[in-house]
Amino acid sequence: MTPAETPETAAETTDTRARPTVRLRPKAEARAIRHGFPWVYADELVLDRRTQALAPGTLAVLEDADRKPMGLVTVNPLSKIVARMLDRNPEAQIDVAWLTARLSHALTMRETLYDAPFYRLVHAEADGLPGVIIDRFGDTAVIQPNAAWAEAHLDALQEALVAVTGVQVIVKNGAGRARQLEGLVEETTVLSGAPQGPVPVQMNGATYMADVLGGQKTGLFFDQRDNHAFAARLGRGGRVLDMFSHVGGFGLAALAAGASSALAVDGSEPALKLAQQGAEAMGMAGQFETRQGDAFDALEALGNEGAQFELVVCDPPAFAPNRKALDAGLRAYERIARLAAPLVAPGGYLVLCSCSHAADLAQFRNSSARGIGRGGRRAQLIHTGFAGPDHPMLPQLAESGYLKALVFRLNG
């Protein structure tokens, strides 16, 4: 899509017989796609002039090398993921009814799991909507259309979302690396309704303030909900250090569970202000402290101060977002563990998290263990956590299971 084109140029016609076809190369792994893998990479597809001329987000019939239809895909010649599977039926009509069915299926599970409408409603490929993230904050929903097809069908997606959930405010968060890789313009805008400031979200007994317009991602990280709860039990009665705290995720949960105090450290002043508002809403402002600055510098400073905490949590951004960054990312995770370990009081707990796609669990665990050892501490690994069930994993797509949380007890 050239800068002058709009997403609508990629929208399909109502006549499914007029759809273009795209074909796998002879050596492409057709079996993996038939068994549920949702992506076709650029080197697996015949990229002739006709295919390369398709507008990003075009719907096409995917054929194997023998020209047998495999399903309906969305095509983006500008992306390394050149095709994404939408439906195994090559004649499927991607309209409001189709989107309503997908959203209704996703909602059923969330309503079964959660008593209140605060959760991730759609987790991209794992919920059958490639590249689409939707987080729900009561009557407000934030959509991240991170694939060109979703941008082209945004009006229909919005209509279906209202029909299924009844939300009154919808925000489009069009920022982030994923959209850049799709050749999409970055923008955040209100699609419907009028947001009235940060949205209070109740989770694990804590109150979080979600800035759905100006915050990171959609305004809150629902994926850590279960890990917040587990760590909070370990911090009861003790001092808690919440590094990379964003709006107070682990620290506020720990206070709600009975921690004596919590120090939240983050590089973002607006995020820390929201964290402070959350503590005030909980009536725990006197037990909550914030410190703005670089996390590595803050950890070193706390070490020099001789600070000690019964629970230390480090939940950094993705240090290894891709394979090229893997080695540097693993070194960063090791350094975090090395600096954090000495801050844990004897018998206390250290929680280390990674949301890096490129670093698998074993690699992250090994880097963390090395760092703890280099920090002069001995540890037991007592728990491994992942994203909550509102962030389901597509078994065939390892990238959909990105979050890892390691809980160590430090003995010496």
Count of CB atoms situated within 10 Å of the CB of 209: 25
355 assigned to active site: yes
* Predicted pLDDT of residue 17: 67
* Predicted pLDDT of residue 216: 81
**Confidence (pTM):** 0.93
* Predicted pLDDT of residue 155: 97
Buried b (16+ CB within 10 A) or exposed e, 356-370: bbbbeeebbbebbbb
* Predicted pLDDT of residue 18: 84
What is the C-alpha to C-alpha distance for residues 363 and 171, in angstroms, rounded to an integer? 36
* Predicted pLDDT of residue 27: 84
Question: Could you write out the DSSP letters of every residue in 206-267?
Answer: EEEEE-TTTSSTTSS-GGGHHHHHHHHHHTTTSEEEEET-TTTHHHHHHHHHT-SEEEEEES
DSSP H helices, 258-384, are: 269-281, 295-305, 326-340, 361-374
**Residue 412 near residue 378, CB atoms below 8 Å:** yes
Q: 187-192 and 288-292 as β-strands: parallel, antiparallel, unpaired?
A: unpaired
| Spans of the chain, pLDDT less than 70 | 1-17
Taken in order of first residue, the domains within the chain and their CATH numbers are 7-11+18-87 (2.30.130.10), 96-192 (3.30.750.80), 199-410 (3.40.50.150)
Going by C-alpha positions, the residue among 152, 214, 154, 213 that lies closest to residue 183 is 152
What is the C-alpha to C-alpha distance for residues 264 and 254, in angstroms, rounded to an integer? 11
Summarised one tens digit per residue, pLDDT across range 318-333 is 999 889 999 999 999 9
Going by C-alpha positions, the residue among 7, 132, 127 that lies closest to residue 57 is 7
Q: Which of 73, 284, 350, 355 is catalytic?
A: 355
Q: What SS3 state is found at 43? A: helix
* Predicted pLDDT of residue 6: 42
* Predicted pLDDT of residue 15: 61
88 to each of 63, 94, 273, 303, 412, how far by Cα in Å?
Answer: 11, 12, 47, 56, 55
- Tokens for 180? 């850049």
**Residue 251 near residue 238, CB atoms below 8 Å:** no
The one-character DSSP state at 156 is: H
